[in-house]
Chain A
Amino acid sequence: MDKFIELTAIAAPLLRINIDTDAIIPSREMKRVSKQGLGDGLFAGWRYTTPGGREENSDFVLNQGPYRNAQILLSGMNFGCGSSREHAVWALHEWGIRCIIAPSFGAIFHGNCVLNGILPVALENQLVEDLARQVEAAPAENTITVNLEKCLVTGPDQSQHEFEIAPGDRKMLLEGLDGIAATMKRDDEILAFQARDRIKRPWIYL
């Protein structure tokens, strides 16, 4: 998995609340049993003019000028709510997004981000809107810096905003860990748990 340490990048404002994973990657864009080939379908319902088509909708932010190179997304509360489909995160990643700044996130989506090298940053809505206003003034120049070691977002005006992230999530992103491999090292603990549990709850062990 990619490591996330620090990123300075163009940020695209998509200030809508409750953006669901169906909007991020419509189910009809999940065409193969694969984590690849999903970037093209990212936000398909909004990005293209017709359902299932590929003609760009020029009103959509990711189709506009410098935002085509955005690596940060600014959005509203409850980003990534709805379906558990990890394809939403794979699509964002393939398109080029590495960090999402929003007031809150859907829980499953948040977990999926961390496991795929995308940093979800929770900042108050007013701060997100303020960052968006600065970015919109000059999208290519007014970049945002996100530093995960310091847990700090630096806006185009050099204002600094601390954010909180669970220490385990931070470590996972900073070091680009494979969570399964890490847990497999705890095999003894799992076996010991099962031995105890089998006595306490024998009906669980089919």
Chain B
Amino acid sequence: MLLDLIRCSGVATVVLFPGAALSWLVDRRSTWPQALAIGGTTAMAAAIVSGYYLLLFHISFAAFVVFEYALLAAAAVILRRRDRTSEFRGRTHSLLGLVILFVFISRSIPLFFGEVPQGLDACFHALIAQKILLSRAIPFDWTPFEAVRLNYPIGTHLLIAETTRWTGVPVHVVFKTLFPLVASLTSVAMYVVALRFSGSQKAAFFSCVAYSFIALWGSIDYYRWGGFPNAVGMLLVLAAVELVFARRAFQLGMLLAAVIMAHHHSALCALVLLLGYALFSRLISIDAAMYRTVIAGFPIAALLALGPVINYLKSSGEIGRASVLKFYEPLISAWEALRQLGIPLVALAAFGTALILAKAPRRSTVFLLFWITAFFSIFVFFEYVYRFGAYFFQREFYTAFTPSRFCTNLSYPLSILAGVGLARFVVFFHGAKRTIATAAVLCLSLAWAYFPLRAQCQPVPMDRDSFDWLAANAEANSFVVAESPWAPYFTWKETQYTPLPASEARNGDYMIFKRTTLNGDVKALRDFSERSGRPVYIVYPVELESRPDLEVFHGEKTRILKLR
């Protein structure tokens, strides 16, 4: 596992490094965190956008990497004599480096407990990436598992597929090994954006600490449910916020295009945040320059992401069969949201908000408050207003647009404000006491992070032997019944349940028939086998009563029965 982690992180670094180095060379005032966060993230965005079109036209992804390094070499020759000036440097950056190292290590530890990543979402992300790897083309459907269109953005999956192609590490392992790198990059980006808002290195440093070790949803929690595209999408949004304030429209357009190609929900968040704030600031007449940058950035993004956008438009007719507008999940009460975000984070953010409210409002603080109000209001609208409206009119309790994700993404602005609160607490002390206070904050944050990280240190129950036997021995048209959502990925056969995201047409009659009628009912499965002429295999826990007449394989945890 350690070797896989090094290989995958190494390939990702090879792809991201030219972006960070270019940013360092071009912007004479940039510091290493700015170069890494903005340059590295822009390289990731460029890899997603270019990767999509290279895959579409069947050109090797290596072309993009060669282009990156050629550009870097040219920039190094042209800009080698420029002097550097930077107003931010010193001990904070050394401490920041230490925090980033802690982030990488802490996010890596859970990867060593079990072969497959945690979370149901990881299963369908692995399916998409494996489809790209096998076909060397953009997948437009979910065959051989389901005969429905693929609506989910594939931006992050193509990076996973390419990493597998370069390293030979299996897709499901690559998927989990990229979490620490994205988490580390997001922590640096958090520092950079918080520095832009607060203008204080201390506050920015503590915002980074708050995001890295105090925030649960939207940070430590990503690995638990397999939210890799969400983590990448929000990293891109975070870098886009910095670029809006730096007035770089083209770079902003590239990042927004990558968000569209990587994650629908993050794209929706970017639209609400950036376009929403641009219109709001225009209405209140506070920020005309930002309005122009955002208005220029979105058409550039639409142009760069034209291919996927056309695909999304084509599949918009399927929205009724997907779970976008009819999403069944338990209601998240206000206190549950508070608990999941992390009570210390929200308390510190409330303190930080009180501190900024005590001062005269600035553009950056208005933006921050808009960010929180917009995400929280949308969460409240879909979690309560829409849900109770649906109950009132249809007597069903569903919601839309997965509102918990808006709450998840709230952790980013809350961390910025929590950093302001923590910095005020630390500057209350002087001399050696301040150093002790800083160390205490770091230690307490790490102690808080220990518990959710420890909960992730457990293997996902699965019998790999049975799946490998089915992949090698079962007929190509077999139908597999298994409890594990990893069955389609490892057997590469149609199963009674394919883990599909909410954006897919997963509520069709055939899929409901499979999930209900064919879910373990032997008589129904026999009928299905006879009618379709397809062999049916049932992956069956060893603890249950045996059927020696049907058994074809006996694994450690499961046996396989074949209905002939």
Q: Do A and B bind each other?
A: no
